[in-house]
């Protein structure tokens, strides 16, 4: 969302986007802690709670906030986002929090490919360098080998980033005609309805502890989305999108404190390369017209 001249404040935008991704890391930690709950059920709670929180924001100006001219693209964006979130939940319960968050947030490395395939825009030569840097980091983290066949969670997290990239490009196309809160509302609503019917086949009775984890995940996910919308009112995507990668630092700390995940030297080097590649892609502006005011994961 472009910042208006009177509202522009890089400091406020940077602070809000960093706070948003701190909440994203907390949300991810809640999801990881809910290991005994089926993944579909976790995502259903996430979207359902977010929907309840966002309904007043959409209806504050009446039913006009529910109007949309592009419901087909809305549903497609929601489907891509739901798949992204489901893949992330599956992966985060099987590999360290830092690895899962980092790989699923590698969407900036895949956005140029989505743009090339969907919008038929060529990838600039200097962007290829950034992509190679980021993909090299991914290889250091997932460490291709026979182990990936027995535990493909890293590849699942990476696939989540692909669907995140698709959702972000779709979001940008929608933002030409749709209000940001309207996009988020339909994302939550469509996903909640879809997941409700899918959850019937995997639903599990949950205890109080698991309920609190799922509610916490939903609340922090909604807060992430809201703070990002506000952040992009103060500063442009080109200015503050690099702060998206603060989620990697927060996730590493939470993974270490609560789950005992200590990254080794290879993980740290891969993390630096992925972050560098993603940030360079953003700063070069190759997908400046596809950077949305939503978090990297659907």
CA dist 291 and 242 (Å) reads: 11
CA torsion through residues 169, 144, 272, 27, sign: positive
C-alpha dihedral sign at 119, 121, 127, 128: positive
pLDDT digits (tens, 9 = 90+) for 66-87: 888 899 999 999 999 999 999 9
Tokens of 59: 């209806």
User: How many residues in total does the chain contain?
Assistant: 298
- Structure tokens, 201: 């086949």
Please, what is the Cα angle at 211 between 84 and 27, to 5 degrees? 40
C-beta separation of 79 from 194 below 8 A: yes
What predicted TM-score, i.e. pTM, was given to this entire model?
0.89
In the structure encoding, which two tokens stand for residue 202, read together? 């995997």
What are the structure tokens assigned to 15, written together? 């602070």
pLDDT digits (tens, 9 = 90+) for 212-249: 999 999 999 999 999 998 998 898 877 888 888 999 99
More confident residue, 279 or 256: 256
CA distance 114 to 1: 21
Buried b (16+ CB within 10 A) or exposed e, 252-291: bebbeeeeebebeeebeebbebbbbbbbbbbeeebbeebb
Do 50 and 190 touch, CB atoms closer than 8 A? no
What does the pLDDT look like over 18-65, one tens digit per residue? 999 999 999 999 999 999 999 999 999 999 999 999 999 888 877 777
| Pairwise CA distance, residues 127 & 277, whole Å | 9
Per-residue DSSP letters for 258-270?
Answer: HH-----HHHHHH
Of all residues in the chain, the percent with pLDDT exceeding 70 is 93
């Amino acid at each position: 969302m472009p910042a208006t001249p009177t509202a522009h404040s890089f400091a406020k935008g940077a602070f809000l986007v960093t706070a948003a991704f701190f909440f994203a890391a907390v949300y991810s930690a809640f999801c990881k802690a809910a290991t005994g709950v089926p993944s579909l059920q976790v995502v259903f709670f996430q979207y359902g709670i977010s929907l309840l929180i966002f309904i007043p924001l959409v209806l504050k100006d009446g039913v006009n906030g529910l109007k949309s001219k592009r419901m087909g693209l809305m549903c497609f964006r929601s489907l891509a986002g739901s798949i992204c979130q489901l893949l992330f939940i599956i992966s985060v319960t099987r590999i360290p929090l830092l690895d899962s968050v980092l790989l699923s947030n590698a969407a900036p490395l895949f956005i140029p490919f989505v743009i090339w395939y969907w919008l038929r825009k060529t990838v600039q030569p200097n962007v290829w360098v950034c992509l190679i840097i980021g993909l090299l980091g991914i290889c250091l983290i997932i460490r291709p080998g026979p182990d990936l066949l027995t535990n493909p969670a890293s590849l699942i997290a990476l696939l989540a980033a692909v669907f995140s990239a698709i959702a972000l490009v779709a979001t940008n196309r929608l933002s030409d005609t749709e209000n940001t809160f309207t996009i988020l509302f339909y994302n939550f609503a469509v996903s909640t309805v879809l997941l409700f019917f899918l959850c019937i086949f995997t639903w599990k009775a949950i205890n109080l502890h698991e309920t609190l984890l799922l509610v916490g995940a939903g609340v922090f996910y909604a807060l992430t989305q809201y703070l990002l919308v506000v952040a992009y009112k103060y500063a442009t995507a080109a200015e503050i999108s690099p702060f998206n990668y603060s989620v990697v630092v927060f996730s590493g700390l939470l993974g270490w404190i609560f789950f005992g995940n200590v990254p080794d030297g290879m993980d740290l080097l891969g993390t630096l390369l992925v972050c560098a590649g993603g940030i360079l892609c953003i700063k070069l502006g190759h997908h400046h017209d596809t950077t949305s005011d939503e978090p990297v994961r659907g």
